[in-house]
Every structure is written in structure tokens, then in C-alpha cells.
Amino acid sequence: MRLLHLSDLHLGKRIYEMSMLDEQRAMLDQALEMARGADVTVIAGDIYDRQVPSAEAVALFDDFLSRMSAQGSPVALISGNHDSAERIAFGARLMDQSGVYVSGVYDGSVRRVELADACGPVHIYLLPFIKPAHVRAALGNEEIEGYTPALRAAVAAMDIDLSARNVLVAHQFVTGAARSESEEISVGGLDNVDAEVFDGFDYVALGHLHAAQSLCGGRVRYSGAPLCYAFSECGERKTALLVELGPKGALDVTGLPFVPLHPMRRVRGSFAQLLAPEAGTQDYLQITLTDEDDVPDAVGKLRAVYPNLLELRYDNARTRAAAADFSRMAVAKRAPLEMFEELYLLQNGAPMSDEQRRLAAGMMEKIWEEEA
């Protein structure tokens, strides 16, 4: 069986106040063609960029699902942390009739979509983004603390048939994976999930992280976002994953590249150097000027040559000195728990105990859950 694995579409996203809808429309057109070579397409969350998406973003996704259904390409999707689970689940039973299978709001049970091929059944479990609070409430177990115990409890409640081929679609941060700048970062990595909770699955289609990457020998994978959503992602190969499940235990994964409508690039040089060489390019650009003196109305003048200039920076003696001053004053990018432990040691002259560390971590996690 062949699955097309997508995630983190972030429909409706804006970068530097530039709408990405045209980019996303072109990307979905490519995904539609890729889906022709798959038996089912799975979308692992963050369909929209915000919980209340724009009308244009909703219309774009509605059109995509309609065209997928029309060409006979089934879709199984879940909500991510940027989505509203309730809004994504609306009309799920009606959409079943069109071959669109949607995760519900997590209530302790996880939707299972059953497909089959010549090798037998394939069970696809649709687990929306969950937090420990969701699992505690749904399972009535107030002792569940932390993301790994929460995911372990949620998986245990699925009652998986280990003799069948099982696929999990989820939206979580697995320990050991690498984050990207364009993602929503949680407090100190408290949302980490140990990969061992996924041991019962033949393939885990993950969303949440924007760089394509694999864990557990390739059985647990992030497809990554299909577009660059930050200049730090320039140069990354953005793909969908074509996953072929053979007989139990046989797995092959191929990356299918997306071609962006407007590539994101970084350009560097003096103002004089940049006025001529690439006149007329439509790429989304971050330009770094190396002139020692600021150029009056540099953005306006450069946009006459580069209409999709999104960010202008300077790299000269003045900016380097300012950056050095800031780095000396700035707090190092460390986990909040680590900084709290350092403060405790300074104030009390002794390190925190394991129990104190566990209590502090639990309080930080609870605060983050309530604010998210």
C-alpha cells in the first residue's frame, strides 16, 4: 500500500505580512498530482496557520479536498496545534462519503481507518495533537503527567492489533528531532515525546516540525512543511513522502520534491552590487547590505529591482558591534527549568532535589498548557 505523507500546510500563513496563498495554491496543485500515485494521502496536522483561519484559507483547502475526492484520492487528516480540533472535525461523517477521513476531538478514543491491499489490512490511526491535560480529562486519570506518559496512555487505549500493519498519524515533538525557526516553540522542550511510545506501529506519519527527518531507523518520520516559512529554512529540500508498505515489516520511503512558485533566498552584497545583477527576479528575498553607511530609502530602491524583497538587513562595523553588545547582555537560549535550577542554586547554596525538579517541571508544563 502506498501512502502520501504531508503535514504542516499552514494555509493562510503570512510572512513579513506577505500572503502565502498563491504559494500554497501552487503547492496543493503539486500535492494533487503526487496523490495520483498513492492509495491514500495522510495529512499530519497544522492544516491552517491559526485556529480561526481566514475565509480564503478555508476556501483553498475546501477546493483541494473536493479535487482530491473527484480524482478518487482518499485523504486521512488530523488537527495540529495550530488548528481548532472542533473546526477541523466539523462535518467528518459527511466527508466520509467522499473518501475524506478526519480525526475527531480527542475523547479517549482514536479514529481508525481500515484499508486493505493484496498483503492484507492496513489500520490507520488518526491521533490529533494532544496535551497531557487532554488525556487526563478523557481517560479520567489525574496521575498522568508529561507528554510521554500521556502519549503512552493514549496509544495503550487504542487496542492495536499487532499482527496487522498499523500506521499512526500524529502531531507531536519526538525527542531527538530537530526544530526549525518557523515553528511554535514550547517552554523548555516540555512537550517532548519519547519515540518508544510508537513501538506498536509499522509507520508513524508525524507533523509539527518543519524539516523532513526520520527516527527509529526510518519508521518514524516527519515529512516537514511543504514550503519554506522562514529564511533560516533556505536550502532545505521540501518534500512529501511516498511511503510503500509491503508485507508486515517491509517499508520503503521516497521523498517527492515540491517546486516553490517563488523560492526564498538570502542575498548579500553592497547596494551598488545588488542594483543590477538579478533585476526582475520574483524570488522572496532577504537582502543583507554590507555598506558601512545606511542607504537612504534602501528598501524602496531595491524593491524597484527585487519586487519580493521581504527583509533588509545590514552587516557592517556598526551592526556587528551592536550584536556583540546584545549577546553580552542577552540571556542564553536555555531551557527555563535549567535557568530556574541555576537561580535556585544561587539563592539557596544547594542544588534542587529530584523531587523539587519534578515539581518545578510540572508547574511549568501546567502554565504552558493553560496559556497555549
pLDDT means per 10 residues, the chain with 372 residues, are 97 94 97 97 96 96 97 96 93 92 94 95 96 92 90 93 95 83 54 90 96 93 96 92 96 96 94 78 93 93 92 91 66 69 73 85 72 52
Grid look-up 511549568 returns: 364
In the sheet with 213-215, reading across from the earlier edge strand, the strands are 111-117, 120-126, 165-171, 203-207, 220-222, 213-215
| Alpha carbons 261 and 23: distance in angstroms, whole number | 6
Question: Phi-psi category of 313—alpha, beta or left, where left has phi over 0 and alpha has psi -120 to 50?
Answer: beta
The pairing of strands 14-15 and 2-6 is unpaired
| Alpha carbons 99 and 80: distance in angstroms, whole number | 20
Burial of 86 (0-12, 13-18, 19+ CB in 10 A): exposed
**pLDDT value of residue 352:** 85
- Angle, CA 110 vertex, CA 105 and CA 111 arms, to 5°: 90
Q: DSSP letter at 48?
A: B
Grid cell locating 52: 480561526
CA 190 and chain centroid, separation: 17
- DSSP code per residue over 123-188: EEEE-----HHHHHHHHT-TT--SHHHHHHHHHHTT---TTSEEEEEEE-EETTPPP-TTSPP-GG
**Considering only CA atoms, which of 167, 217, 139 is closest in space to residue 38?**
167
**pLDDT value of residue 369:** 61
Residues sharing a CB contact under 8 Å with residue 328, sequence separation 6 or more, in sequence order? none
Cα-Cα-Cα-Cα torsion 195, 197, 202, 203, nearest 10 degrees, comes to: -50
**pLDDT value of residue 27:** 98
| Alpha carbons 37 and 280: distance in angstroms, whole number | 36
Report phi then psi at 252, rounded to 5.
-135, 135
CA 29 and chain centroid, separation: 20
- Angle, CA 226 vertex, CA 242 and CA 303 arms, to 5°: 150
Q: Is the Cα dihedral 64, 65, 68, 74 positive or negative?
A: positive
- In this structure, are residues 248 and 121 in contact, taking their beta carbons and an 8 Å threshold? no
**pLDDT value of residue 188:** 43
**Considering only CA atoms, which of 288, 296, 343, 344 is closest in space to residue 316?**
288
